Amino acid sequence: MGKVNMITGDINNGKTTKLIEIFEDKNTNEIDGIVSVKVFDERTGEFIGYNLQKLSDNSKVTLCILKEKYHDNFDNFFEFGRFIFSEKAFEFAESVIKELIKEKEVISIIIDEIGELEAQGKGFANAFEMAISSNKEVYIGINPKNIVKIVNKFRITNYTIIPIVKAGK
């Protein structure tokens, strides 16, 4: 099992931004992965959900939509919390992670966000399991309340917690 770097902070605290910075600061041939990027309504500007985006080429799929904004957008989906999630997004994540594991020059994999779904064996659980079993270094975004659940669920022994510290806090 490779090392897991846990970028941790509360909701809207900058975990995704930090993961993107890590990607941009390293050689892009050596690091790649997926991040969950907020999506806003083009007309109103209000938050409606998340896209799942591969860092190196910006390819993306819709990850989830707020329940109240959902209008039969996905073929296969499930509800969790305030969102409707697309199964296609998790298939996309698995295909990206499989591809990165095969790439010899990739030494680090980013997966944003690991949490409640993965603790239940859903969401990015399969992609995350593949990544940590690959002996590559893995960076994840994770809420502090989920660290113990994820460490126990995936039997992670080699990890570092990197808290997001906001200026002025």
Q: Which two tokens stand for residue 98?
A: 């499989």
Q: Is residue 20 part of a domain?
A: yes
User: Domain range for residue 116?
Assistant: 4-36+52-60+87-163
Find the CATH number of the domain harbouring 118. 3.40.50.300
pLDDT band (50, 70, 90) for residue 167: low
Q: Is residue 24 part of a domain?
A: yes
Inter-residue contact 138 to 31 (CB < 8 Å): no
Specify the 3-state DSSP secondary structure of 14.
Answer: coil
Asked whether residue 94 is domain-assigned, the answer is yes
- DSSP, residue by residue, 110-143: EEE--SHHHHTT-TTHHHHHHHHHTTSEEEEEE-
Mean pLDDT of all residues in 71-87: 94
8 Å CB contact between 72 and 89: no
Instruction: Say yes or no to pLDDT of 168 above 60.
Output: no
Express each pLDDT in 110-139 by its tens digit.
999 999 999 999 999 999 999 999 989 999
pLDDT value at 169 more than 50 = no
Pick the range with the lowest mean pLDDT from 25-29, 84-88, 89-93, 121-125: 25-29
pLDDT at 145: 96
pLDDT value at 42 more than 60: yes
Task: Tell me whether the omega of the peptide bond preceding residue 118 falls within 30 degrees of 0, making it cis.
Answer: no
Taking residues 95-99, what's their average pLDDT? 98
* 75: its two tokens: 């073929």
